[in-house]
């Protein structure tokens, strides 16, 4: 059973007016409090510099300033490694690092006041490339790396501060040397992917106030209210219950609105001002806030002549920028996604999360998988070419099936990689001719371990209220949970309310990331509704997934639930200019059960389009650490006219579990397009696939085929 795209004109009509369309929605940036001030951040113009003096003496009297001296005594924070202070106190570590902040009566007054603050710096040597940053003699960003007590630091981290590594994740499975000795052929290649911006329509926005009795209240666009509360508690030395996080809906997030962003700065300003303080970022500041990890990935893959994979060695360098943020987690997921969904007896992975003097990189839709799949799936096609095999057959021969062991040692269940691959191959016309066509398959873990809990309450008027921390960022999570609740309660969806999450009220939830919410909350909900039906008033439900990997061997349970998908692309190339045209893109993802078809379809299309942008042109460019395209003219994202024919299957099975589908279709898209190019003999190692790179690669091909053999 497979749910395809809606036909043109098909009725995807909703039963209630969409508040995003009527304008009734109040996003994080719309929250206002009486008497509030507006913040502006003063940022370092140097990629690495000692902060010598911050002079606020020319500020007008009614402006509140926050300087390193105000925050020196506050706690260090970081969701995985405690490497960050509220401002850069001793050293600024990237161009854009906050060194001071102001609060004033209007955004304009704040901006002007920020320009009046004078900062003296002593410039220090900087490093921007992850591989270089690990070399002896490279400037060191952090001297000691304390592992965070935040529950986002759920896995064993292996920092190596003397070489700028905040986490070194390993998989040791089988005997790698023996594996390569058994191989008839070995292919080897190095790939690079650039940094990218999430570009949510709504920028980061937050507002903080302190109550008369000394509680901190924060309204913020966040996917991680509880993780945020933990870090803020550590910074201010408060018990967690003295902090209240309210998480209004967001105009897009894609991973960028996770953990502490600017909440600590506005909280400090609000405390000093004795008034609420609000910050809404300017668009260009988004590039200085959080981006996607640039990666360098080396792959060595060995197989027998018949295509049976025997050994794979992967080294990943994930460039996390100046602060770790959740980079260690990203590097880990990049590491365990890089072997790909294959049976390989001997696997050796080293994945390094490396500090450099770039803005921090963190969660980004795909969470390390986009980079890993690019390297892994491009290498599969190199191998297929070397062996003279059909790339689809090579994959089907090796792909994991139910009951197989992954290289983490876990036994795989509910496995549908082959279904996804066959579906995309069929839709792209693989068997009618492979020229200009490419495939890629994806395995992506879900946050493990994690816990989701939910309360359902019966109201006097016969309606119900769901108390749940799941963040709404345009993905339709609130509506999906309301629909599930309505179905189980036997009422129309309009009778189920989902108030804005408030950590004073909602029960604990790990966070809204890794496409886990509909699945996890959906399961918790079943228990909550069962309880409510028993007592008629209130039900509580919880869903816990247990697992984790040994950080030194990568053995254990990487994920209790796998996101599975495949993509296929058909391309045309203008051989004279290198311009690549994607003609058709098809993805098939395993959805298990689709809760809200229109929202699921939009999520999947959005993922594909974001993948297309990463494939074709999205790239943050830097000059000595300075972002050179921090605006939407210079940084292109896909426009309507850039879209090829886009089709997809959301594969369902009767009685199956819900599978998250928020980011499954993105990671395989660039690799499928890269492989389609490769079918024409054009081998591009680095993303994005600019015409210039494609032309250069197609010329290499000509030179190669002209060379005597």
Partner 1 sequence: MARPIPAWLAPTSLEEALELRARYGEEATVVAGGTFVGILINQGLLQPAALLTLRQIAELAYLRVEDASASGKPLLRIGAMTTHRALERSPLVQRGWPVLASTFALVASPRVRNQATVGGVLADADYASDPPALLHALGASVVARSPQGQRLISVEELIVGHYETSLRPDELLTEIQVPGGIEGAVYRKFRSRSSEDRPCVAVAAVRREGRLRVTVGAVAERPQYFPEICALAEGQAGIDAELAREIGERYAAAIEPLSDARGSAHYRRRVIAVEVRRALEDLHQQIIATGGGSQRHV
| End-to-end alpha carbon distance in the chain | 50
Closer to partner 1 by Cβ: residue 109 or 415: 109
Q: Is 173 helix (H, G, I), strand (E, B) or coil?
A: strand
Q: Are 474 and 447 spatial neighbours (Cβ–Cβ below 8 Å)?
A: no
Nearest distance from C-beta of residue 112 to partner 1, angstroms: 6
Q: Length of the chain, please? A: 709
Residue 626 CB-density burial (10 A; 0-12 exposed, 13-18 middle, 19+ buried): middle
Which residue, 461 or 641, is less far from partner 1 as judged by CB? 641
For the chain, state the CA radius of gyration.
25
Rounded CA-CA distance 206/270 in Å is 12
Chain positions 58 to 87 lying near partner 1, rule: CB under 8 A, are 60
Min dist CB 695 to partner 1, Å, is 7
Cβ distance to partner 1 smaller for residue 2 or 629: 629
Distance in angstroms (rounded) separating the CA atoms of residues 528 and 537? 11
Is 700 a residue that touches partner 1 (CB under 8 A)?
no
Residue 579 found at the interface with partner 1 (CB under 8 A) = yes
Which of 41, 109, 279, 324 touches partner 1 (CB under 8 A)? 109
Closest residue by Cα to residue 39 from 292, 328, 267, 310: 267
Dump the DSSP string for 302-329.
EE-TTS-EEEEEEEEEEEEESS-TTHHH
CB of 666 to partner 1, least distance (A): 18
In the bound complex, what is the minimum distance in angstroms from residue 108's beta carbon to partner 1? 8
Q: Which is nearer to partner 1, 359 or 638 (CB)?
A: 638
Q: Which of 672, 666, 701 is nearest to 689 (CA)?
A: 672
Distance, in Å, from the CA atom of 181 to the CA atom of 185, rounded to the nearest integer, reads: 10
Residue choice 26, 45, 55, 112 for contact with partner 1 (CB under 8 A): 112
Of residues 12 and 631, the one with the C-beta less far from partner 1: 631
Q: Which of residues 618-647 bind partner 1 (CB under 8 A)?
A: 621, 628-629, 631, 633-634, 636-639, 641-642
Q: Considering the complex, what minimum distance in angstroms separates the CB of residue 109 from partner 1?
A: 7
DSSP states of 537-598 as a string?
Answer: SEEEEEEEE--EE-TTT--EES-SSEEEEEEEEEEEE-TTT--EEEEEEEEEEEEES-SSHH
User: How many C-alpha atoms does 477 have within 13 Å on its Cβ side?
Assistant: 32
Return d(Cα 91, Cα 73) in angstroms, integer: 16
CB of residue 633 to partner 1, shortest distance in Å: 7
Closest to partner 1 by CB, 10 vs 634, is: 634
Which residue in the block uniquely carries the two structure tokens 């697992």? 547
In this chain, which stretch among 36-44, 231-239, 371-379, 571-579 interacts with partner 1, using CB under 8 A? 571-579
Among the listed residues 108, 305, 405, 645, the single contact to partner 1 using CB under 8 A: 108
Q: How far apart are CB 187 and partner 1 at their closest, in Å?
A: 29
CA dist., res. 319 & res. 294, Å (int) = 5
Q: Which is nearer to partner 1, 565 or 638 (CB)?
A: 638
Q: Scan residues 351-390 and list those touching partner 1 (CB under 8 A).
A: none
Q: Does residue 190 interact with partner 1 by CB under 8 A?
A: no
Min separation Cβ 550 and partner 1, Å: 44
- Residue closer to partner 1 by CB (options 465, 636) is 636
Residues 251-290 that bind partner 1 (CB under 8 A): 284
| Residue among 2 and 636 whose Cβ is closer to partner 1 | 636
Q: In the complex, what is the shortest distance from the CB of residue 577 to partner 1, in angstroms, rounded to a whole number?
A: 5
Q: What is the largest CA-CA distance in the chain?
A: 85
Sheet containing strand 185-193, edge to edge, reads 165-173, 346-355, 309-321, 295-303, 185-193
Selected binder of partner 1 within 413, 499, 692, 704 (CB under 8 A): 692
Which residue, 190 or 629, has its beta carbon nearer to partner 1? Answer: 629
Smallest distance from the beta carbon of 639 to partner 1, in angstroms?
4
Q: Which of residues 32-61 bind partner 1 (CB under 8 A)?
A: 60
DSSP per position, 667-683: THHHHHHHHHHHTTT--
User: Least distance to partner 1 from the beta carbon of 116, Å?
Assistant: 8
Residues 598-617 that bind partner 1 (CB under 8 A): 616-617
C-alpha triplet 44, 48, 49: angle, nearest 5°: 70
Residues that contact partner 1, how many (by CB under 8 A): 27
Residues of this chain that bind partner 1 (CB under 8 A): 60, 108-109, 112, 116, 284, 576-577, 579, 616-617, 621, 628-629, 631, 633-634, 636-639, 641-642, 690-692, 695
């Amino acid at each position: 059973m497979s749910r395809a795209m809606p036909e043109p004109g098909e009725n995807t009509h909703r039963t209630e007016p969409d508040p995003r369309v009527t304008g009734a929605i109040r996003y994080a940036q719309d929250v206002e409090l009486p008497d509030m001030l507006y913040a502006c951040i003063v940022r370092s113009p140097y990629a690495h510099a000692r902060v010598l003096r911050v002079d606020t003496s020319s500020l007008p009297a009614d402006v509140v300033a926050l300087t390193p001296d105000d925050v020196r005594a506050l706690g260090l924070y970081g969701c995985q490694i405690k490497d960050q202070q509220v401002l850069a106190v001793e050293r600024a570590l990237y161009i854009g690092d906050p060194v001071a902040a102001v609060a004033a009566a209007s955004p304009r007054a704040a901006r002007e006041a920020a320009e009046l603050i004078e900062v003296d710096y002593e410039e220090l040597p900087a490093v921007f490339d992850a591989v270089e940053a690990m070399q002896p003699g490279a400037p060191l960003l952090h001297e000691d790396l304390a592992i965070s007590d935040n529950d986002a630091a759920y896995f064993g981290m292996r920092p190596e501060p003397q070489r700028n590594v905040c986490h070194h994740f390993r998989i040791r499975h089988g005997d790698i040397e023996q594996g390569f000795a058994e191989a008839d052929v070995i292919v080897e290649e190095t790939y690079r992917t650039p940094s990218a911006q999430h570009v949510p329509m709504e920028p980061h926005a937050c507002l903080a106030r302190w109550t008369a009795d000394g509680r901190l209240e924060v309204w913020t666009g966040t996917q991680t209210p509880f993780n945020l509360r933990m870090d803020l508690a550590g910074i201010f030395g408060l018990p967690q219950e003295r902090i209240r996080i309210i998480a209004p809906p967001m105009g897009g997030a894609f991973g960028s609105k996770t953990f502490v962003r600017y909440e600590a700065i506005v909280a400090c300003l609000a405390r000093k001002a004795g008034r609420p303080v609000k910050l809404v970022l300017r668009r260009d500041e988004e590039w200085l806030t959080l981006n996607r990890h640039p990666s360098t990935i080396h792959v060595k893959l060995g197989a027998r002549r018949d295509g049976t994979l025997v050994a794979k060695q992967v080294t990943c360098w994930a460039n996390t920028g100046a602060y770790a943020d959740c980079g260690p987690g990203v590097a880990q997921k990049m590491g365990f996604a890089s072997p790909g969904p294959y049976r390989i007896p001997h696997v050796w992975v080293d994945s390094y999360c490396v500090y450099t003097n770039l803005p921090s990189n963190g969660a980004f839709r795909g969470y390390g998988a986009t980079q890993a799949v690019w390297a892994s799936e491009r290498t599969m096609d190199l191998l297929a070419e070397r062996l003279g095999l059909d790339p689809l057959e090579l994959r089907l021969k090796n792909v994991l099936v139910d009951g197989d062991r992954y290289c983490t040692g876990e036994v795989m269940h509910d496995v549908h990689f082959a279904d996804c691959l066959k579906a995309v191959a069929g839709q792209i016309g693989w068997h009618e001719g492979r020229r200009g066509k490419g495939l890629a398959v994806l395995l992506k873990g879900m946050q493990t371990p994690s816990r989701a809990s939910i309360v359902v309450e019966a109201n006097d008027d016969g309606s119900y209220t769901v108390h749940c921390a799941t963040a709404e960022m345009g993905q339709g999570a609130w509506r999906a949970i309301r629909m599930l609740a309505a179905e189980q309660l036997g009422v129309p969806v309009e009778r189920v309310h989902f108030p804005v999450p408030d950590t004073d009220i909602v029960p604990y939830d790990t966070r809204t990331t890794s496409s886990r919410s509909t699945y996890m909350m959906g399961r918790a909900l079943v228990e909550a509704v069962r309880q409510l039906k028993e007592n008629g008033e209130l039900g509580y439900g919880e869903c816990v997934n247990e697992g984790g990997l040994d950080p030194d061997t990568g053995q254990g349970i990487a994920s209790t639930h796998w996101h599975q998908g495949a993509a296929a692309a058909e391309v045309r190339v203008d051989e004279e200019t290198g311009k690549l045209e994607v003609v058709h893109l098809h993805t098939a993802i395993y959805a298990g059960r689709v809760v809200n078809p229109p929202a699921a379809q939009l999520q999947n299309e959005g993922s594909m389009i974001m993948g297309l942008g990463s494939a074709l042109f999205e790239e943050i460019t830097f000059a000595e650490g300075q972002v050179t395209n921090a605006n939407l003219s210079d940084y292109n994202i896909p426009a309507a006219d850039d879209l090829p024919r886009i089709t997809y299957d959301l594969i369902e099975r009767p009685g199956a579990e819900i599978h998250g589908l928020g980011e499954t279709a993105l990671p395989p898209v660039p690799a499928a397009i890269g492989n389609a190019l490769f079918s024409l003999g054009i081998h591009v190692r680095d993303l994005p696939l600019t015409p210039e790179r494609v032309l250069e690669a197609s010329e290499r091909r000509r030179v190669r085929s002209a060379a005597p053999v």
